[in-house]
Amino acid sequence: MVFGQGSLSPDGTELVYSGADNRLYVMNIPTGQSFALTKATFDSRPLWSPDGTRIAFSRLTEKGYNIFVMDKDGRNVRALTDNTDNFMAGGWTPDGQKVIGVSAQGGGNPAQIFDVGGGTAQTLNFIRQPGDDNISISPDGQWVAFTDKVPGRMTPGIFVSRLDGTEQRLLVQLDTWSAGLPLWSPDGDWLAFSVVNTDFMQPESIPALVNLKTCQVVPLPHLKGEIRGWVK
């Protein structure tokens, strides 16, 4: 449909995405018409808020990548971070009041939660691997799904844990193929994720589902690409 990364609105009627010119656009899916949200700059990783009123995104500034939030029509753009830690937008909390950021710099605080209304950021201790901004919060706001290193294994795995890092468990890990991009379903029962088949000269991504209660895995080999959003 479009170039670059995208995010569906909660009602499934609009798609915000990054264009080839480094601007953000919104497409009306029923009509196929798009309009630009931001001016020519380096904007990426747009994420629609749960209530459909705002969009979080990452912007390359003079200090590096920082997280911004704007209204869904492109107005009221404001920065949530202004530092050199290269924070990328990773997701929203279910109440739409906070945005998760993941730093590509490493160090002791690779993941933090930033309040849209301002205030002190909250450090999240669940992740060891910097740079992976594919994080998903459960619909009840109590759990987080993320990709992280698995000690003694070649490829990373998909974990779930409480926001403070407790009750962590490994859900998916493959020997040579890579699993990532976890995304919680609206009912909280499933995680969508992607498997990269590295046996091919040109690796392809195939989506799958895993049930959080039973650990049942459902491959979706008839689909190609990545699941980037659920529609309620």
User: What is residue 85's predicted lDDT score, i.e. its pLDDT?
Assistant: 85
The percentage of residues in the chain with a pLDDT greater than 90, rounded to a whole number, is 39
Residues 32 and 101 placed together within one structural domain of the fold: yes
The pLDDT assigned to 131 comes to: 47
Share of the chain above pLDDT 70, in %: 91
Same domain, 85 and 150: no
What is the distance between the terminal CA atoms of the chain, rounded to a whole angstrom?
A: 21
* pLDDT at residue 151 is higher than 90: no
Q: Is the pLDDT score of 213 beyond 70?
A: yes
Strand partners, 158: 147, 172
Task: Among 52, 87, 116, identify where a domain stops.
Answer: 116
Nearest to 115 by CA among 98, 137, 91, 96: 98
Specify if 127 maps to a domain: no
- CB count within 10 Å of CB 131 equals 12
Which of 116, 148, 165 is where one domain is finished? 116
Say which residue, 172 or 204, is predicted with more confidence.
Answer: 172
Q: How many domains does the chain have?
A: 2
Highest mean pLDDT among 38-47, 105-114, 182-191, 219-228: 182-191
Amino acid at 117: G
126 occurs within a structural domain: no
For residue 36, give the CATH number of its domain. Answer: 2.120.10.30
Provide the pLDDT confidence category of residue 105 given band limits of 50, 70 and 90.
low
pLDDT-based confidence at 83, cuts 50/70/90? Answer: confident
Over residues 134-152, mean pLDDT: 85
What span, in angstroms and rounded, lies between the C-alpha atoms of 31 and 145?
Answer: 34
Print the SS3 string covering the chain.
CCCCCEEECCCCCEEEEECCCCCEEEEECCCCEEEECCCCCCEEEEEECCCCCEEEEEEEECCEEEEEEEECCCCCCEECCCCCCCEEEEEECCCCCEEEEEECCCCCCCEEEEECCCCCCEEECCCCCCCCCCCEECCCCCEEEEEECCCCCCCCEEEEEECCCCCCEEEECCCCCEEEEEEECCCCCEEEEEEEECCCCCCEEEEEEEECCCCCEEECCCCCCCCCCCCC
Q: What digits encode the pLDDT tens for the residues 152-201? A: 888 888 999 988 788 999 998 888 888 888 999 989 999 999 988 777 67
**Residue 138: what are its φ and ψ, rounded to 5°?**
-65, 155
Taking residues 52-68, what's their average pLDDT?
Answer: 93
User: What residues contact 201, with CB distance under 8 A and at least 6 apart?
Assistant: none
pLDDT at 129 over 60: no
> Are residues 141 and 215 located together in one domain of the fold?
yes
In this model, does residue 23 exceed pLDDT 60?
yes
Expressed as residue numbers, the domain containing 192 is 134-232
Say whether pLDDT at 109 is over 70.
Answer: no
| Global pTM value | 0.80
pLDDT at 90 over 60: yes
